[in-house]
Structure 1
Amino acid sequence: MKFLLDFLFRALQLFTEPYFLLFLAAVMIYLLRRKNIRKNLRTGITISVILITIFIGNGFLGKITSGYLQKEYINSAEMKVTGAQNPVIVVLGGGVVDIENTEKLHTMSYSRLVTAYQLYHEFRKNNQPCTILISGKGRGHISEAELFSENFKKMGVPAADIIKEDKSMNTYTNAKYSNEILKRMPPSNIYLVTSGFHMKRSVALFQTFGLKPVPQVSDFIDTEITLFPNSYNAAFTFVMLKEILGIGQVKLYNLLGINK
């Protein structure tokens, strides 16, 4: 059953890809034309596609999805470090880019790196031991965990305070493999660092494994309502739509008991 549901959600994800939607619209118009469907219907479909494109590109849909994904975490950047027991900062990888055969952290990864370090620094400033657990393999030759670790060390974090989880390839395995490590550690307060649009799904998946992380958002994205559609609005809207679909998948799998 899980295999079929995985396939279904993979197929649904195509509808959050702009090129697929344009391709689908073109195919529909072509088929309707070949079947001699009346011109009014073809015109209606064409106008609908244009209106949807405008709605996405103008930022209206992005504003709605941005609020749903990020609103509850706006104040999570206020770091609360008092009273934490054996704090562990779990930071999720945000991607790696390859420039001239040199692998570097993606821009989004740097915001997570800085937020995790700021939190770590607050704990250490209060003379409280703290561990940073970096989760992410990525698709490069060097893991996200390794690249994060190198940067943390340059910022002054001792190697003894860093744990690398370098097997996970997605948010589900971030939670799964992080949980396996955390279970071997003393009871801890867990602080989860990731981007705002990604936090709701991340928290849901960590909770699936019985963890109760404190959200620490590293960055936010939003769209701007504009008169004319633009690629900036469209790109971020599709990113957030894909995230909402992922949240639906987590909730359904949890309801069916097939997420572990």
Structure 2
Amino acid sequence: MFLFLSKLLPLFLYPLGLACVLMVVTLGMLLWKLPRRLAMIPIFLALAVLLMSSNGWVSNSIVRSLEYQHVPRGELPKADAIVVLGGATKPASSPRPWVDLSEEGDRVIYGAKLYREGKAPRIILAGGRIDWGGEEPPESADMAAIVELLGVPKSAILQEPDSLTTYENAVNVKKIMDAQGIRRILLVTSAMHMPRSLLIFQKQGIDAIPAPVDFLTTDRDLQSMQNSPQSIILTLAPEAERLKETTRALKEYLGIVIYRLRGWL
């Protein structure tokens, strides 16, 4: 139940859900025949929420505030294992011919790249799958198929197929590390997800070196936003993709608050 509620309730705090709530409030006020001028306040607030969260300046700023916390300075050191967190694949459900990579699929590719560069002799793929029907294989199996295709031998792959949250990722990976005598890991996840993930792994006493990937913002993006009046105007214009990125960033900040309240970081 906690998992279900943790997915459902925050939806009404994110920009799109909050805007919908405000519009429902407006409808209710009109049905109750409250003054029209008063009823217009929630609808204007909803419009403001959508416009702000879908423009490039707001989206880029909030995403960058997370992604640039753990940018590697120089070459990554070697470790005993590479840990790749799930949330990066889609199952091979019909009509997909095979496993699909999602936007976060860079995690899997980068993990395999680090292995092939000799950064660690083993790779731990951590992630079950939230499947309310309970029929799909764990995501760790999907990631294993992909890294094998990229040249990682099966003997070097360890799977953690049971976790459904980042906290469970850390707890279960710690058990594997203790059983395998692994002391130090390279932690691979999306740059936006790294601040929360690193704190959770460190809370478990894991010596984790951040190896972020899947950056949504870059230095070049910031420069291009300021190049001309045209780019400034286009950056301010609402766009669905920016709304999605803002929502992802807010989800991470909300996750940090909730995880801290539960004592997980």
Specify if TM > 0.5: yes
What is the Cα deviation at residue 212 of structure 1?
2.6
Q: Return closer, same or farther for 1:70/1:109 CA change in 2, 3 Å cut-off.
A: closer
Unpaired segments ≥5 residues, structure 2? 226-233
What does residue range 73-152 of structure 1 map to in structure 2 within 5 Å? 73-75=70-72, 78-82=74-78, 84=79, 87-93=80-86, 94-97=88-91, 98=93, 100-123=95-118, 130-138=121-129, 139=131, 141-152=136-147
For residue 232 of structure 1, the aligned residue among 220, 233, 241 is 241
- CA deviation string 1:6-52 (max 9, x = no partner): 9588523431262x323312221122223333232222322222122
Secondary structure at the counterpart of residue 200 of structure 1: helix
What does residue range 1-260 of structure 1 map to in structure 2 within 5 Å? 11-16=9-14, 18=16, 20-75=17-72, 78-82=74-78, 84=79, 87-93=80-86, 94-97=88-91, 98=93, 100-123=95-118, 130-138=121-129, 139=131, 141-222=136-217, 226-254=235-263, 259=264
What is the Cα deviation at residue 172 of structure 1?
1.8
What is the Cα deviation at residue 173 of structure 1?
1.4
Measure, in 1, the Cα distance between the counterparts of 2:10 and 2:105. Answer: 30
Matched positions, count: 245
What is the Cα deviation at residue 120 of structure 1?
1.3
- CA deviation string 1:89-144 (max 9, x = no partner): 000122314350544132335311221122112226xxxx6110001122462322
Q: Give the aligned residue type for 2:89.
A: G
Q: Is the 8 A contact 1:91 1:113 kept in 2?
A: yes
- CA deviation string 1:178-207 (max 9, x = no partner): 111111122421110011111111112212
Unpaired segments ≥5 residues, structure 1? none
Q: Is the 8 A contact 1:69 1:196 kept in 2?
A: yes
Q: Is the 8 A contact 2:116 2:151 kept in 1?
A: no
Q: Give the aligned residue type for 1:178.
A: V
TM-score, normalising length: structure 2: 0.81
Give the aligned CA root-mean-square deviation in angstroms: 2.8
User: Among the aligned pairs, what percent are the same residue?
Assistant: 24
